[in-house]
Amino acid sequence: MSTQVVQSRGIFHGLPVFSENVKGLTAVITGANGISGQHMLRVLLQSPERWTKIICISRRLPIMKDGAVPGVVEHIALDFLDTPQAIANVLRERGVKADYVFFFSYVQVDPEPGAPIWSNAKELCHVNTLLLSNFLESLALVSIKPRRFMLQTGAKHYGGQFGSNLAPQEESDPRVLLEPNFYYDQEDCLWAYCKKHDMKWNVIRPAFILGAVPDAAMNVCFPLAVYASVCRHLGQPLDFPYDLTAWDMSVTQSSALLNSYLEEWAVLTDGAANEAFNASDDGIFTWSKFWPLLASWYGLDYIRPDDKGKYEDLILPHNPPPRGYGPPGKIRYKFSLTEWAKQPEVAQAWKDIAQQKDLSVKELHDVDRIFGFTDFAMSVSWPGASLSMAKARKLGWHGYVDSNESVREVLLDFEKLGMIPHAPALTQSDAPANTANSLTEGYAPEWLELEKTLGTRPLLTGTVEEMQGQFAALSAVLSASKTPPDDFIKSKDVTADGIPVRIYKPKDASRTKLPIMVYYHGGGFVLGNLDTEDAWCRYLAKTTPSIVVSVDYRLGPKFKMPVMLEDSLTAFKWVYANAETLGGTKSRIFTAGTSAGGSLALLVTDALIQEGKNSHVKGVITAVPITAHPLSIPEEYKSQYTSYERNGSGVPIADASTLNTFFEAAGCKYDDPMTFVTLSQNLSQFPPTYISTCGKDPLRDDGRVLEAMLKREGVKTKSDNYIGQPHCFWLFPNVNGEEFLANVVKGAQWVVLNSE
């Protein structure tokens, strides 16, 4: 029985321990500024007694973690597309010696416009084989004969890029000859050279390499970070572009540091000489498990694939696929990250982020090369990258890393390089990223601090009567924290054809005809009155500036829908008829509201359109509106409607149970277009609409789905999303409500401007 000693370094486990007698070695790393070369350098520098001299050959200097090159490292700038003699001259002048060579040099040849990134196969073969052969011949010219020459190729050796191949992929699998493959040419070149010069070799074949370096090409993680950062900036969910099959497919990931540990082990292990090895994290990685994790790191909600969703099909050209039987490979997609990154809105968002955060990557450039690799990694719907590690294990390799934890560290490294903005959740805890506390995960820090101050999480729960008591107590707490009414605004309670309303007017309103905002309070059609949002209405009147008419419609459970809508419509018509008397004008009347009140603002607009009175309402301003029932989401939007599930239980203020109790008490029928505006047939006639949503709100996707439907109909929309914040968070003190208030004012001003 044999025993082995292994070690852990951070998140990397099962790493080899070498004899102390292995020391005083010289290594040459080519392509040292690339993702693999730089991580190889990091690994060798961990053992300064073993590797006393490291020569880095690349056109550009490798970046060290501390920004400097240690004394044991020497950099030589060389281009391997020069002649062997030219390369040899430099090696001779610099007195290069080499016990071991780690060859990572690579050139990505530009494909034809619109073609896949590896489509220019013949040129890839020519250029990359030339890199290797020129360097090998230069070694012979200066009589450098390393003990071992390591060549890193990759999982494309197994043909998974062409469709279904043999799975799992083993080093002894036959070559796939459907198209030229420079890995084969490089291997043949290396084997012939080593045979001629009596040298030993290794070939290492990783899959999708995880690592952070300034050149983001061939890097899965950087595009994912850009995608998540822009989604966060734009207040959008993290939408998975590909289908359920790709979502669930197990895909091999190959962390650059673990690859490097393997490569060091391979060249220093006698029994591994003249062998090829796969390189993987040796775990199971699926997008279905990783995507929610990525979303949580960036404080985002996410959209999973929907087997009934609308997808485009891309059929790969090789029939049969590499394994020799079965249908050709098929990729199903809603969009690609590459095309997403080319959108003007996305490009501008990244410019804004880069400027705000002073990032080194100021603009998204070379999009096809950088994002195309990640698209391929996400789209594979067959086990095309399922690398077996059996061969290396049998020889004593036991390295392992959790790929999810590896991605997390890579993103942190990208942050340190100044290439992506900081994501606070990446560093909130030293615990593994996939064990986050669901009670606090994804919430804005200021909200969690408020809960700590309150000593509880505010949530309306139980029967309607119990909620009414909870609401009254909560209102009392909030009232105590509010500043006294502003003398700048005068208010007056009147009745509007029998409906109680409160009119708010700036004291200098007589100077001009102000817009009129007909406002409907929130409360699930069951709670609330004119006092509930009095301070909010005063703020709107002062800052927009406008005349605000707050409507006290009748509530459930005593009254049922559509009574609430009828009261709201009656009040609007009264305002329209008396606009001049109020000090406003009929040409600039808008509806507005929060939560259930946001629903009424939309439903009143819809009712006026049905009556042919489109011109009476010039715009809609809604905050966290109710627009849909989970049982009646339009089919094409079901995959986007995840907030009832994601935020369904235990979230602050109102969770799914709270809303269902409200709906039942108010007589809201799930299929009634007079209750849920997303069922309306009049959306194409809506005026400009502003919508705000909150990330930790079951109603988040009510707003998002409505916005998507309005946009599809050509309606002007503007929206803001508050990541990590719950329903109506701005009503509480010290939770960054100022940003919300300012944005609503901007939204209202945008509606006014776009209605003219």
- Tally of CB atoms within 10 A around 301: 26
Closest among 80, 74, 78, 79 to 97, alpha carbons compared: 74
Q: Residue 157 and residue 6: Cα distance in Å, rounded?
A: 30
Question: Which residue pairs from 352-356 have beta carbons closer than 8 angstroms and sit at least 24 positions apart in sequence?
Answer: 352/233, 353/229, 353/230, 353/233, 353/421, 356/421
CA distances from 546 to 81, 335, 516, 541, 743 (A): 70, 42, 6, 5, 16
Reduced to 3 states (helix: H, G, I; strand: E, B; else coil), residue 30 is strand
Among 39, 157, 629, 727, the one annotated catalytic: 727
Asked if the model's pLDDT at residue 429 lies above 50, the reply is no
pLDDT category of residue 214 using cuts at 50, 70 and 90: confident
What does the DSSP assignment read for 509-566? Answer: GGGS-EEEEEEE--STTTS--TTTTHHHHHHHHHHTT-EEEEE----TTTS-TTHHHH
Task: Write out pLDDT tens, residues 478-517.
Answer: 665 555 556 678 899 999 999 999 999 998 766 678 999 9
Among 375, 567, 697, 702, the one annotated catalytic: 697
Task: Write out pLDDT tens, residues 389-428.
Answer: 999 999 999 999 999 999 999 999 999 889 999 887 776 5
User: Does residue 588 contact residue 516 with C-beta atoms inside 8 Å?
Assistant: yes
Reduced to 3 states (helix: H, G, I; strand: E, B; else coil), residue 636 is helix
Q: Is 318 a catalytic residue?
A: no
Asked if the model's pLDDT at residue 37 lies above 70, the reply is yes
Tell me which of 301 and 574 has the higher pLDDT. 574
Q: Is 697 a catalytic residue?
A: yes
Dihedral sign for Cα 710, 714, 720, 722, please: positive
Asked if the model's pLDDT at residue 431 lies above 70, the reply is no
Beta strands at 584-594 and 25-30: parallel, antiparallel or unpaired: unpaired
Q: Residue 132 and residue 123: Cα distance in Å, rounded?
A: 14
Tell me which of 403 and 217 has the higher pLDDT. 403
Q: How many residues does the chain have?
A: 756
pLDDT category of residue 117 using cuts at 50, 70 and 90: low
- The residue behind tokens 């000489």 is 273
Q: Is 595 a catalytic residue?
A: yes
Q: Residue 591 and residue 620: Cα distance in Å, rounded?
A: 5
Which residues touch 4 (CB under 8 Å, ≥6 apart)?
A: 16, 396, 398
Domains of the chain in sequence order: 23-424 (3.40.50.720), 484-755 (3.40.50.1820)
Residue 500: what pLDDT?
Answer: 98
What backbone phi and psi angles, to 5 degrees, belong to 380? -65, 125
- The residue behind tokens 């197990």 is 250
- The residue behind tokens 């939408």 is 239
Beta strands at 330-333 and 312-315: parallel, antiparallel or unpaired: antiparallel
CA 592, distance to chain mean position in Å, is 31
CA distances from 506 to 435, 546, 712 (A): 52, 7, 38
Q: Residue 704 and residue 237: Cα distance in Å, rounded?
A: 9
Among 133, 595, 643, 692, the one annotated catalytic: 595
pLDDT category of residue 436 using cuts at 50, 70 and 90: very low
- Tally of CB atoms within 10 A around 542: 17
Dihedral sign for Cα 673, 679, 680, 683, please: positive
Average confidence score pLDDT of the chain: 90
CA 397, distance to chain mean position in Å, is 34
pLDDT category of residue 215 using cuts at 50, 70 and 90: confident
Instruction: Tell me which range, 57-71, 203-217, 492-506, is most confidently predicted by mean pLDDT.
Output: 492-506
Asked if the model's pLDDT at residue 113 lies above 70, the reply is no
Residue 271: what pLDDT?
Answer: 97
Task: Write out pLDDT tens, residues 550-583.
Answer: 999 999 999 999 999 999 999 999 999 999 999 9
Mean pLDDT of 225-231: 95
Measured at the alpha carbon of residue 250, what is the angle toward residues 248 and 256, in degrees to the nearest 5? 130
The tally of CA atoms less than 13 A away on the side-chain side of residue 63 is 13
Give the DSSP H or E segment for 16.
Answer: strand 12-16
CA 115, distance to chain mean position in Å, is 25
Query: Above pLDDT 90, what percent of the chain?
Result: 71
Tell me which of 642 and 152 has the higher pLDDT. 152
* Alpha helices, H only, 6-112: 35-45, 84-93
Q: Residue 424 and residue 422: Cα distance in Å, rounded?
A: 6
Structure tokens of 199?
């040298």
Task: Write out pLDDT tens, residues 182-202.
Answer: 999 999 999 999 999 999 999
Residue 437: what pLDDT?
Answer: 44
Q: Residue 372 and residue 163: Cα distance in Å, rounded?
A: 17
pLDDT category of residue 245 using cuts at 50, 70 and 90: very high
Please give the sequence-ordered ranges of beta strands (E in DSSP) within 576-661, or none if there are none.
584-594, 619-623
The tally of CA atoms less than 13 A away on the side-chain side of residue 202 is 31
Task: Supply the Cα-derived Rg of the chain in whole angstroms.
Answer: 32
To 10 degrees, the CA torsion angle through 77, 83, 88, 91? 0
Q: Residue 703 and residue 691: Cα distance in Å, rounded?
A: 6
- Is 584 exposed, middle or buried (CB count within 10 Å of its CB: 0-12, 13-18, 19+)? buried
CA 369, distance to chain mean position in Å, is 19
Q: Residue 597 and residue 609: Cα distance in Å, rounded?
A: 18
Closest among 653, 676, 668 to 731, alpha carbons compared: 653
Residue 580: what pLDDT?
Answer: 94
Residue 435: what pLDDT?
Answer: 35
Residue 433: what pLDDT?
Answer: 37
Dihedral sign for Cα 279, 281, 287, 290, please: negative
Reduced to 3 states (helix: H, G, I; strand: E, B; else coil), residue 498 is coil
pLDDT category of residue 662 using cuts at 50, 70 and 90: very high
